[in-house]
Structures are given as structure tokens and as C-alpha cells.
Chains A and B, each alone.
Chain A
Amino acid sequence: DTGVSQDPRHKITKRGQNVTFRCDPISEHNRLYWYRQTLGQGPEFLTYFQNEAQLEKSRLLSDRFSAERPKGSFSTLEIQRTEQGDSAMYLCASSFHRGSNTGELFFGEGSRLTVL
């Protein structure tokens, strides 16, 4: 399967712990996006990368959140000192961008975080 894959699919943690999610995009895609989805809501944009450069971050991405894409391939999203309000589904998506055109976003199945 060459779709977007995310790991782990589910994570339960205690408040105050750190968690890290990994996203492997479709191999030829140069853009990678993170979104967050809470129950009953649509996905909300967090950040995106073009290759290894982080080009935009949402105000939702507090200083406890850090995302990296060190080699322009996979990406990690780390949440430090988790809070109950961080409980959500974290979605990764990727696309191929050239010039002024960005292709379709392909989403992974998400990583569900539960903070107790």
C-alpha cells in the first residue's frame, strides 16, 4: 500500500506526558500537512511542510507542539506536557506541489490521542 500511513493509530497517555506521532507520506509527495480533528468537528489546519521546510504554522500550534520533517520524507508531531484538551485525532496528509499548482491532498487514517 502506498498511501499515507500514520503511527500509532491510537495512543492513550496521562496528562503531562510527551507523545510523538509519525507520518509517512506518499513517496513522491513534497508537501506534508498536519491537521487536528476533535469530536464533532471538522479537521483544523496545524502546519505544513514543503520538503523539509515548515512553511506555515497555525495559531493552534502552541509552543508545546513541535513538528519536524528532517529529510523531507516522514514527519513527526510531538506534543509535550500533554493536556486533556489535546485529546483529538491527528491527521496527516500529503500532496505534490509544482509551481502554483498543488495537487489533491491524500489523508492518512489518523492517530487518535486520548489524554487521561
Chain B
Amino acid sequence: GNSVTQMEGPVTLSEEAFLTINCTYTATGYPSLFWYVQYPGEGLQLLLKATKADDKGSNKGFEATYRKETTSFHLEKGSVQVSDSAVYFCALSPNYGGATNKLIFGTGTLLAVQP
């Protein structure tokens, strides 16, 4: 079946540190991959997405590359800020091309950035 596994948190970093949050997936066919972010007291927001192998999604300094050979979609940022503190969810949609009828989420990773 389809599933997403992401690294457990919390991840605690100092401001300007490099961030990696690992995400691997299991899926049949050609899924689309997403990172969502949930800031304190807010709803989930789409951070970035990639709809086919080798695509790189990017937004707000965050990047993730769809690696079919390693079934991974790791989230990276070169220099985190305190305002990046949030819970990050990796997700997949079984539908090719980004159609998001049904998202399958990982368990989330809490990121805490200290000044």
C-alpha cells in the first residue's frame, strides 16, 4: 500500500543552521509528493510539491527533490529562522500529475529554531 515515513522530532536547531527532514515513501505507480507546514495555531499549508521523478519543489528557501531511486523526498533549507518553527508533514498523493484527491501524510516533524 501507500505510506510515508518521516523522521521523528523534535528537531531543535539554532538560527541560520542547515535543516534536513528526511521523508521516504512507499507507493505503487507514480505518486506526487508534498511538504505541508503547520505553524502554531494555524491550519496546514502547502509548502512545496513535486509531481514526477527528479522534480525539485522549492518555496521560501525550502527545497525537496523527488528521488524515485531512493523513494525519498527530503526537505532542506540552508539557513533556518525562528519563524520556521512549525510542524512539517511529508505527504503523497497516489495520483499522477499532482491531482490531490487523497493525501497520505507522514506523522509530522516538529522543528524548533532557537535564536
* Contact surface of A with B, Cβ cutoff 8 Å: 3-4, 31, 35, 40-45, 48, 55-56, 91, 93, 95, 97, 100-110
Contact = CB atoms under 8 A, between A and B. Distances in A.
A95 B89 CA distance: 19
B99 A102 contact: yes
Nearest to B106: A42
B103 A105 contact: yes
Contacts of A3: 43
A42 B43 contact: no
Contact of B43 (A91, A97, A102): A91
B66 interface: no
A107 B101 contact: no
Top 7 nearest A-B pairs (CB, nearest first) are A42-B105, A107-B44, A107-B43, A102-B99, A109-B43, A45-B102, A102-B100
Contacts of B46: 104-105
A102 B45 contact: no
Nearest to B105: A42
Nearest to B38: A107
A41 to B, nearest CB: 6
A100 B99 contact: yes
